[in-house]
Amino acid sequence: MPYAFKIALRYLTANIGQTALLASGVAMAVFIFIFMSALIGGLADLLVNRTLGNLAHVTVEATEADPPLLSRNTSETALVVRQPSTRRETGILDAGSFRDVIETLHGVSDATLEVDGGAVLIRGERVERVSVSGLEPDRLNAIIRFDRAMQTGTARLTGDTLLIGATLADDLGLSVGQTVVLRGDTGNSVTLTVGGVFRIGAGQIDGAAAFIDITTARALFDSPNTVSRIAIRLEDFNAAPRTAARIEAATGLNATPWTETSEQLFDALVAQARTGLVLKSFAMITIVIGIASSLMLTTYRRRPEIGIMRAMGATQGFIVVVFVTQGALIGLIGGISGGILGLVALVPFPSIEDVQPGQLPIDVTQGSIGLGIALTTLAATLAAILPARAASRIDPVEAIGQ
């Protein structure tokens, strides 16, 4: 065992009560670091799940076609003014091939084709305006987790069934097994049976959306060869801007990350993350101040011993190593203790999917336990440098004479 390490360890074990107290303080700071990381991460996930969770992380649509020239007479100057359409006129051709390409990209967890359009849902004399999404039955849960949201019926789509939200079902007095007519903006109609009623928790989806089989949607919206969009879910929603750029480069299509479609949510998450960073920084500063002040006291108390060591031939560098090692060991012991405390305290919290109103959204997997321990050890080591340097400069004659 290197001798400086042995001395540092001996000093820590010689006054076990003081060491335990100091390590406990560090452990508490690490616990706060882990708790804040898990809370901020969990809160972000909850927000995303509750809002963005029902939306694609990246939406791929066809590139807007160039506006047509209104005059082909080259002797005249053409002034073309185009009113942007609220409905995308163009769809994606050969979308399956594009999806295959997209699915090979790193970080893409799921990609599904959608044919969307506006329609009215008719039941007897009741008529409700709805937004219709045609989904691939085998990828039904790619974006919205219908399998976790069903109140009645099953999360399954066939050519003659549809899924509707609980609010819409209440408004129309609908239940599973009942028949409705869906009339698209194209004028086409289709008669479908309610296969399931879900509650996502998002008002627009629960109250004004219907989900049908993509084949039925193609017929309803006269889109036999195209899809409206490719909806993509990522392993890490934070990677959406980068992944969208890669998708655009790979496909030439227009890829929009959720950070653009839900800018306010993104800003809120960024602000929240910054708040967490500030709080975590305070935890680290607490560690640095605590360890630095404690080691200052220790070096003061051990001045005669430092003087003896110097008299016996210990170099200034050796003294620095002894006290920096002490700081590092306190950081490591406190860090590991805080990590264990964090695990024990946070594991019992329900997963983000199961969080009920009033419960803290803690995601222990985002607790940054390893990072917390590493940063703490580093911070403690750095905090020890100043007292260690002060110790190394102690005059042995003066110290021994005390």
Binding region for other proteins (CB under 8 A): 1-3, 6, 10-11, 14, 304-305, 307-316, 318, 396-397, 400
Q: What does the radius of gyration of the chain's CA atoms come to, in whole angstroms?
A: 32
Give the span between the Cα atoms of 219 and 81, in whole angstroms. 33
- 309 or 391, CB closer to other proteins? 309
Contacts of 114 (CB under 8 A, 6+ apart): 133, 134, 135, 214, 227, 228, 229, 230, 231
Work out the number of other CB atoms within 10 angstroms of the CB of residue 147: 12
Work out the number of other CB atoms within 10 angstroms of the CB of residue 213: 24
Structure tokens that stand for 66 in this block: 């160039």
- 201 or 304, CB closer to other proteins? 304
Structure tokens that stand for 44 in this block: 């972000």
Q: Taking Cα atoms as reference points, which of 228, 256, 221, 219 lies closest to residue 241?
A: 256
- 278 or 297, CB closer to other proteins? 297
Please state the length of the chain: 402
Shortest distance (Å) from residue 280 CB to other proteins = 36
DSSP 16: H
- 266 or 323, CB closer to other proteins? 323
- 279 or 308, CB closer to other proteins? 308
Shortest distance (Å) from residue 388 CB to other proteins = 17
Shortest distance (Å) from residue 384 CB to other proteins = 19
Give the span between the Cα atoms of 119 and 128, in whole angstroms. 9
- 140 or 314, CB closer to other proteins? 314
**Under 8 Å between Cβ of 205 and 131:** no
- Exposure of 72 in the CB half-sphere (CA atoms within 13 A): 1
Shortest distance (Å) from residue 397 CB to other proteins = 5
